[in-house]
Structure 1
Amino acid sequence: MVMASRLAACEACRKSKLACDHQQPVCSRCQATQGVCIYRTAPFKRRRIEKPILKSPDPSPSYSPRRNPYPNPGYLGLSSHAAIFKHITPDDHSAGSHAVGPEVGTEPWIGDNHLLLQGADVLKHLLTLYSLLSMKELVEFWLAKGTNLALAEPFVAQCAESVSQLFESHDESWHLVYARRLLQNSARPLQFDASTDLAGFSSQFLDHYARWETLGIFFAAVSRATIDVPFFPALYTTEEQQYTLRRLATKLCDFSLEISLSLDCLNDLQLIVQYENFIVHSYVDGDQSYHSWRKLGDVISSTFALGYHENTQAKTGIPPFLVDLRKAAFARIYSADKNIGIFLGRPPRMNKRFCHFQIPSCDLNARLNGSTNDWDPDTTVGYRADTRWSALCASLKEEIWELLQDKSDASCVAKASEIQHKAEEQWKALPNHFRLESSLKQCVGSPFERDFLAHVRLNHLHVLFLLRLLLLNTMTEPDIPIIETAGQMLALVVEAILLRDQLTNSGTGLIWKVAYYGLPAAGIILLALLKQQSHATQSISRTKILRDLSVFVAEVQIGTIVRSGDPNFALLSRATQTIQRFLDSFHSDSVPPPALEAGHDDGNEDWAALLSQDLWDYEAGFWQSLADHPSLLAIDPPLPNV
């Protein structure tokens, strides 16, 4: 007589001392109670008393043979061998699953076992120090302010709820049990067809189907929340505690992403986590950090590997909400590529020549028809609208960038005029309530809406600014149009600084607005004033310019928008020191005025030769060169923190 094999109960039934029917992946009792059903990998193995190997300071990764020995090729384009063989043996694969990975029910390959152990360790450490429920409440408080993760917006609240209910067992190896279960779920391809809705799609990575990507989204939200919420007594009351939680949440977000990528089965959810992880690093490490730059490159690589640079709407069997989500991913990644490239003075990595330019609709469940410039007059303010507008502006910035490479071309001016016409048409096509035509403080709306209007206007002004910058013969002699545009940009940035407590991040933070829009504008205005171009500055109030520059400097120096130790502090502090030296020079009676007599401007010529001629570079090098202007060398730099 053959005895039946002994079956282990799930953790929830075992802890409750209730009968379990052993159904997998979810037993009937957990299914009925919406509980999280976890089965231990070795339930009947006697626990050893000795210290577990996990506690070793440098545990060696255990070898695990790979179930799928062939790499996931991802998207293969027209020049690949697959495009030729496709005509011989047509690809009959279903559109419902584009991820290549282990079959459901098989033991997944652990891409890097050491990586998984590290991720489990960080998870255990974080949940030992901080309450998971409190972290969920922090995210909910952050969401209640009107902000969110721009691309993962539809999933953040659901992921927070799922993760907060996920971890219940707390024996010695609970973190390893959950880590492996998350890995098994992450190895499952995301299934969908033309009739799948958002709820059906997201149910594949929530509750007992939670994946490492689910944790990635949640902890990206936790990290971002610690930036926007300065005081949350349940988790932190000091800057040090706030910083510690932010770094741990960022680290776990990193591990969640890397473990998911190690499975070599790219999908939509992983791309979303990659983008949000890049944004987190831009906040935590700074916009000039190599880590952020590399993260952006990884996101772009995944976009191409998934084929989302192609026309996503032309593919069949994909539900409308997912088509629009992929368009949103492309648009935000494309915009980030242009904006970060311009900010750092580096070449772009996504070119429209090799991409199908596409932007999402403002309704997640609707497909966009007609021209990209078409807007529904009743479109509401939101992240989707910000995504569309940012991509439209980034498209024009790429065209300006290309003109910069052919500046000697005789048709450069005509092409620049055409781009300016496009920019003006784009602005006119916006819904009336998207166009900021007055002072920001006169706007009636929520903090999110105010911030949105400011960013829409700044992005438009930035396109016009770059066009005028392109047409300058030399940066040291700005003309009237660029000075006027710079004055408008600086005034709006200063107003955003003063109203910062009445603004909520609608897609870009205040520090980014200051560094990306404010610094170039301030730099051009200083160049004009240093040249004493009264004819160039007569169209705008010099008094207002000096007041805006003074406020700009004061807010940075007293630490209201950036403090010592913050990632962008070095860039902003150096720029404001140069501006302060100019203001001291301008208001000092003991120092000769900056303008030199006609025929005696050799010092200015020598200085002009030192100034960086890279029109796109507004990093520290530009401000250091500007600080070497002859009229500023006689002024001692201001004392710190004055």
Structure 2
Amino acid sequence: MLLRSPNPNSAGLLRLCRLQARGQTTCSQRDTWDRPVLFLFGEGDGANELVPTADESTAASSVPAWWVKRATEVVGHLVEFPTLKQLILEFYGVSQAAVIAAPFVLNALSQMQDTYHAYQLDQGETEIPALVATVLDNTRRKFSVPPTVDGAHFHRLYAGSCLRLEILGVVYALAGRASQFGLGRPKNKLLSSHFARRMLAASDTALQTCRYLSPVNDLTLWVLHENLLLSTLVLSHSSSVTWHRLGELATCIFELGLHRDPDERTDLPDFLLESRRRLLAAVYQLDKSIATFLGRPPRISWRHSGCRLPLDISDEALTGSRELAQRSVTAEGWSCHAVYQRSAWIRLRFLISTFREEILELSLTKISENRDEQLRDVSRRSRQAWDLVPSHLHYTEDCWNTHQPISVKVMLIVSYLAFLYNEFLVQRLLALNSTEYSAALVDVSSTILSTVLTFGRQQEWVVDIHRDFIWTLLLYGFSSASVLLKALQMHASTNQLPSLYPRGILVRHLSVFISHLESMAGPGTANNAFFSRATRVFSRIMDEILAPEAVTATETPAVDSVADLDVSLFSDFEGVGLLDTMDFASVLDQVCISDSYLGRMQVSLLAFSNYLAIPM
């Protein structure tokens, strides 16, 4: 059945018929639709109208003019489809961190290309009104997934003649992120930034319109997730918009019940259940990362969830046989083969985040008498869980000598750093009421800094991992180096450090760290004042440690100790807010690093949001 809008454009209908002739399915008619009762506030007439009830007309003409205008804005961006397609194809070609399975997006792109040509969008916008009418009709229908549909044909429910606003929002957000990673044609930083902001605005508008037209569904979660990730790049993780978008995503996850596996009687297809598990695990990890960064309670608690981990299977397995996929994994859900695929990183990052949740709870709640014991228990169980992870997912320095893609190597090292940072947080909390740092804290800090510097020695600049190195240096290097400097200060008189690492090695690592800071402080670089000040502060402390007699009493010290770095270092940094954390490098861990494995990410850590002075 061909969907028609009132007074349809005949040319548009003919082109839709061509789509059907190519074997593309049309949307099934449904008698009723569940509609949320929402008030959305905006400018202009019709912005605050109540969502239509189920017995009202489903024709596009019944949609208030405000929302028709917004939908037209969203659909209008399809004139840029060649650029959108190129960006997303390149993104999925190299990404190890994408959450939505590739076939669900790439198959939809293929049908969007047919729509692009059918409506002659390559020749202008004259046919957009006809396409808008069809898209509005589709989006107003409740998105239901028949139990008989398979993953290979899932995209036909939201693309082609069933094209919906949700998938447009997903495509725009993905393209915006890809442009920030330096993919596609825009190589100019300003052009890339402008494009990403336009895609964020288009994705926002698509999301708002979908929330007005249709109940929350799986596609809503997709666009919320991708929109959130793009928001972190464009607006930063500290943005109020980002924080509220995370809350909206968590709420919708609970609304659809993704936090609990359905019973055996469910009629949801297996591929959709598996896709939901991937999304929940990814959002759970993102939630803990942002909670760590902002020092706020997490939104999603695992203690209130009962969903199984996603299987360590390929994206393509979601479009194939369930039995074949089940035979390819162990009883624990890991792949039977030592392969690197997106689901493996989702599982690994999720497992690391479960311990981060416990650490957050212990750090954000009132201190109990047995907190130290609880922290040590978290540390013990975290190491045990890491040991059970398949060995090929464990980072070793030897990985740099393999022929694995650079994106895999970056995922290995940042996952390892995230695991180490959990231990760092535990040991730092244990040391809060102590006058000295423990050997465990010094050792984990030494390991973190050594790992970061190993990353910096790599010379595979073809895909520009230099920017990923800057990320790890700032996110992990600052906190670990601060602890090591303070420890060296504490034991300057005895030269006896509570560490497995010799003092000379620590001094050498800190010197290399300072040299990296100095290299970022060159003239013309963004925030060079910040990096210059950071270099002076760390260098001054190192001088006091190595040759205290050379520092004259008449000189005014930059800082008295590493403890003073929290506020003073960031006074010159563009976009800084007051950091109130136990270390001034409050860490927004692996999520952003993993997504920036091409190294083109705009840093959004509160104090580092604009530091890169390189084309994006």
CA RMSD of aligned residues (A): 4.3
Q: Residue by residue, what CA displacement relative to the aligned partner does 1:269-306 show, whole Å, maximum 9, x if unpaired?
A: 11011111101111122222222222211111111111
Cα-to-partner distance string for 1:480-510 (whole Å, 9 max, x where unaligned): 211221222223334435548569799x966
Confirm or deny that 1:118 pairs with 2:73: no
Partner of 1:226: 179
Aligned to 1:542: 506
Select the structure that is richer in helix: 2
Q: Aligned pair 1:577/2:556, yes or no?
A: no
2:113 aligns with one of 140, 157, 164: 164
2:139 matched to 1:139? no
Is the contact made by 1:337 and 1:348 (CA closer than 8 Å) also made in structure 2?
yes
Quickly say closer, same or farther: Cα 1:517–1:619, change in 2 above 3 A. closer
**Structure 1 position 141, deviation (Å):** 3.0
Bigger drift between 533-542 and 340-349 goes to 533-542
Q: Which residue of 2 aligns with 1:388?
A: 347
1:31 to 20, 24, 28: 20
1:552-591 alignment, distance < 5 Å: 552-554=516-518, 556-558=520-522, 564=526, 574=530, 577-587=533-543
Could you give the per-residue CA deviations for residues 303-326 of structure 1, whole angstroms, max 9, x where no partner exists? 111121223465611221111111
Change (3 A) 1:175 1:606: closer
**d(CA) in 1 for partners of 2:547, 2:388:** 53
In structure 2, stretches of 5+ residues that fail to align are 1-5, 28-41, 554-558, 569-578, 588-611
Aligned sequence identity (%): 19
Aligned to 1:488: 447
Residues 396 and 423, structure 1, Cα contact 8 Å, conserved in 2: yes
Equivalent runs, 1:374-523 vs 2, <5 Å: 375-405=334-364, 408-438=367-397, 441-474=400-433, 477-497=436-456, 499=458, 501=460, 513-523=472-482
Distance 1:59 1:305, change over 3 A: closer
Q: Which has the higher contact order (CA 8 A, sep 6+)?
A: 2
Residue 615 in 1 paired to residue 567 in 2? no
> Which amino acid counterpart does residue 293 of structure 2 have in structure 1?
F
> Secondary structure of the residue that 2:115 maps to in structure 1?
coil
CA–CA separation in structure 2 for the residues paired with 1:498 and 1:10: 62
Match of 1:49 in 2: none
Aligned partners of 1:59 and 1:418: how far apart in 2? 54
- What is the CA–CA distance in structure 1 between the aligned matches of 2:111 and 2:473, rounded to whole Å? 37
- CA offsets per residue over residues 364-410 of structure 1, 9 Å max, x none? 45569999966344252122111111111111111122223567433
**Paired position in structure 1 for 2:258:** 308
Distance 1:518 1:282 in 2: 22
Hey, what does 2:158 align to over in structure 1?
A: 205
The structure 2 residue matched to 1:263, chosen from 213, 216, 235, is: 213
TM-score with structure 1 setting the length: 0.72
2:194 match: secondary structure: helix
Distance 2:333 2:434 in 1: 36
Please give the residue correspondences for 1:58-97 in structure 2 after superposition, counting only pairs within 5 Å: 60-62=44-46, 68-69=52-53
Cα distance, 1:212 vs structure 2? 0.9
Contact 1:147 1:504 in 2 (8 A): no
What is the alpha-carbon distance in structure 2 between the residues aligned to residue 605 and residue 521 of structure 1? 11
Whole-Å separation in 1 of the counterparts to 2:396 and 2:227: 35
Which residue is equivalent to 1:183? Answer: 136
Amino acid at match of 1:142: F
Whole-angstrom CA distance in 2 between matches of 1:609 and 1:229: 32
Measure, in 2, the Cα distance between the counterparts of 1:335 and 1:348. Answer: 10
Cα distance change on mapping 1:289 and 1:343 into 2, 3 Å: same
Q: Which amino acid aligns with 1:118?
A: R
Aligned partners of 2:140 and 2:523: how far apart in 1? 46
Give, in whole Å, the separation in 2 of the partners of 1:298 and 1:385.
Answer: 26
Q: C-alpha separation between the residues in 1 aligned to 2:114 and 2:566? A: 63
Checking the alignment, whether the CA contact within 8 Å between 1:338 and 1:348 is kept in structure 2 is: yes
Q: How does 1:248-397 map to 2 (within 5 A)?
A: 248-312=198-262, 316-356=266-306, 358-363=308-313, 364=318, 365=322, 366=325, 375-397=334-356
Q: Secondary structure at the match of 1:165?
A: helix
- Matches of 1:204 and 1:114, distance apart in 2: 26
Q: Structure 2 CA distance, aligned partners of 1:197 and 1:227? A: 33
Q: CA deviation at 1:243?
A: 2.2
Choose 1 or 2 for highest CA Rg: 1
Q: Secondary structure at the match of 1:305?
A: helix
Taking structure 2 as the reference length, the TM-score comes to 0.74
Query: Unaligned 5+ residue runs, structure 1?
Result: 1-5, 16-25, 39-57, 70-101, 597-601, 621-639
